[in-house]
Amino acid sequence: MIDVVNRSVRAIPNWVLYVAGAVPVIWLYVLGFQNALGADPVDAIERNLGLWALWLLIAGLCITPLQRLTPLRLIKLRRPIGVVAFFYVLVHFLTWLVLDVQIPSQIVADIIKRPYVTVGMAALLLLLPLAVTSNNWSIRKMGARWRTVHKLVYPAVLLAGLHMVMQAKGFQLEPLVYLAAIAFLVAMRWMPLSSFRQAFVKR
């Protein structure tokens, strides 16, 4: 069964993953224009795009532990997942920028005065060089520096999780669960393989 999954993953063209990743964004906007997202469709689109972005970022963090703990070979999915995740982050930001705030002076004020906006903007800026260099040409040109740059994903995803927690109204468990999962996955990145096996495989 594992071999079938691994072969299926290798056989999927990347363009299929990119197209599939764009479908929820298009569907959200279709629902918004049809007034099917409640009284505040812009807010609903923003929240859903942010949630999808966080899911995808977490999925990207899961690939390395799965590679180390199981026979699954999903490394091919890491780049498409990362690129699609950045796409969601970018559309989330542009929705806030163009459809929500709209006033340029207010945009700058929000980034400076609202901590959750500041944190979200920092996450976006950290993800930007990763998205720009997620191609074979950059890997060849940058050499070992490419891996160093792409380690920015860890603080970026932590900031994305913190952004979700900070913008939640009142006490909400879901954002805290996401942040805890992200912190755990980031910590696993530096755990020795022996610790992985002791913590999970032998149980």
| Per-domain boundaries in the chain | 2-201
pTM of the predicted protein model? 0.89
Q: Is the C-alpha dihedral spanning 8, 13, 14, 15 positive or negative? A: negative
Going residue by residue through the chain (203 aa), what tens digit of pLDDT does each one get? Answer: 788 888 888 888 999 999 999 999 999 999 998 989 988 999 999 999 999 999 999 999 999 888 888 888 888 899 999 999 999 999 999 999 988 888 877 888 888 888 999 999 999 999 999 999 999 999 898 988 898 899 999 999 999 999 999 988 777 899 999 999 999 999 888 776 555 555 555 44
| Alpha carbon distances (Å) from 49 to 165, 191, 196 | 15, 31, 32
Residue count (the chain)? 203
Tokens 């929500």 sit at which residue?
A: 100
21: its two tokens: 């990743």
